[in-house]
């Protein structure tokens, strides 16, 4: 199931994409209008939405709705750094012994087709195409074996980074959290549709130029290991977003530097998860 948060006629709600249509969650009074609340209801909500899909009713053309980030304001947004061997090679940094996590402030999140702002204070804006997953059950101390059961689904993320601000602090938080620098989407694909999240092709283009071309099998710490590691320290909550790192091909390591400029289009595609595309605009 491809779960979406969208706006239609000035009302925001959840639904599911089927072909070129969106099944409108407002067609069933049992369904909430907000994605975290939907995920909190678990199997009952998924069953109700599936029944709505099967009815063939309450459908809208995909072209007539505005897709938002599937989780417009996650409770936590955690990213992992240095998680692809080829990216470690291009940065010439050491392979981490433990997962290296940082926080992106949730206000940075925007959806597919949303503008991303090039701030006036810096031109060192970089893209990072990544696989993201969303927590579907509140949990703590999750075993590696049970980790798949707490994931609600997968989506695409662009971990946009201001490189100069990133390295002013060892926590990376400010450089990762500028407004609009957390595009997510275009939808949240439930786990039953992804046979193996650790064997998905990932590609990133800037203005049609292929910059990143890799596969999630090259991650050092996989999704389930991340859940097991994080949940030793944190209570993971429904709707938490976790991104899984970026492969080689980032702009900061290009010669000359491939930093983003106003007017450029960043397009990221991952097998089975669709396409996330955003336009860079100057800060007003």
Could you tell me which of 71, 207, 83, 88 has the C-alpha nearest to residue 133?
A: 71
SS (H, E, C) the chain: CEEEEEEECCEEEEEEEECCEEEEHHHCCCCCCCHHHHHHCCHHHHHHHHHHHHHCCCEEEHHHCEECCCCCCCCCEEEEECCEHHHHHHHCCCCCCCCEEEECCHHHEECCCCEEEECCCCCCEECCEEEEEEECCCECCCCCCCHHHHEEEEEEEECCEEHHHHCCCCCCHHHHCCCCCEEEEEEEEEHHHCCCCCCCEEEEEECCEEEEEEEHHHECCCHHHHHHHHHHHCCECCCCEEECCCCCCCHHHCCCCCCCCCCCEEEEEECCCEEEEEEEEECC
Q: Which pLDDT belongs to residue 94?
A: 87
Q: Which pLDDT belongs to residue 93?
A: 82
Q: Check if the beta carbon of residue 64 is closer than 8 Å to that of residue 96.
A: no
What residue spans in the chain does CATH classification 3.90.850.10 cover?
A: 77-282
Q: Angle at Cα 13 formed by Cα 161 and Cα 75, nearest 5°?
A: 40
Q: Which pLDDT belongs to residue 86?
A: 85
CATH 3.40.630.30 correct for 77-282: no
Alpha-carbon dihedral of residues 173, 185, 239, 52, nearest 10 degrees? Answer: 170
- What is the residue-level pLDDT of the chain in tens, covering all 284 positions? 999 999 999 999 999 999 999 999 999 999 999 999 999 999 999 999 999 999 999 999 999 999 999 999 999 999 999 999 888 888 888 889 999 999 999 999 999 999 999 999 999 999 999 999 999 999 999 999 999 999 999 999 999 999 999 999 888 999 999 999 999 999 999 999 999 999 999 999 999 999 999 999 999 999 999 999 999 999 999 999 999 999 999 999 999 999 999 999 999 999 999 999 999 999 99
Handedness of CA 210, 118, 274, 189 (dihedral sign): positive
Q: Angle at Cα 145 formed by Cα 141 and Cα 147, nearest 5°?
A: 55
Give the distance from CA 282 to its chain's centroid.
Answer: 23
């Amino acid at each position: 199931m491809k779960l979406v948060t969208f706006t239609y006629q000035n009302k925001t709600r959840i639904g599911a994409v089927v072909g070129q249509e969106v099944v409108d969650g407002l067609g069933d009074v049992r369904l909430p209008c907000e994605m975290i609340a939907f995920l909190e209801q678990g199997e009952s909500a998924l069953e109700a939405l599936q029944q709505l899909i099967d009815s063939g009713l309450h459908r809208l053309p995909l072209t007539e709705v505005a897709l938002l980030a599937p989780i417009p304001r996650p409770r936590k947004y955690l990213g992992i750094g240095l998680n692809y061997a080829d990216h470690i090679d291009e940065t010439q940094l050491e392979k981490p012994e433990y997962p290296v996590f940082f926080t992106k402030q949730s206000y940075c999140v925007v959806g597919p087709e949303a503008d991303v702002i090039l701030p006036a204070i810096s031109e060192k804006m970089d893209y990072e195409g990544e696989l993201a997953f969303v927590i579907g059950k509140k949990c703590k101390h999750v075993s590696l074996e049970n980790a798949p059961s707490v994931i609600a689904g997968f989506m695409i993320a662009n971990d946009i980074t201001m490189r100069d601000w990133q390295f002013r602090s060892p926590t990376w938080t400010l450089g990762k959290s500028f407004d609009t620098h957390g595009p997510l989407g275009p939808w949240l694909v439930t786990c039953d549709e992804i046979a193996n999240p650790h064997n998905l092709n990932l590609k990133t283009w800037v203005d049609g130029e292929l910059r990143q071309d890799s596969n999630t099998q090259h991650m050092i710490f996989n999704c389930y290991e991340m859940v097991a590691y994080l949940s030793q320290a944190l209570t993971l909550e429904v709707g938490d977003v976790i991104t899984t790192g970026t492969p080689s091909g980032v702009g900061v390591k290009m010669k000359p530097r491939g930093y983003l400029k106003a007017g450029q289009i960043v397009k990221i595609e991952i097998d089975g998860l669709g396409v996330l595309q955003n336009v860079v605009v100057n800060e007003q």
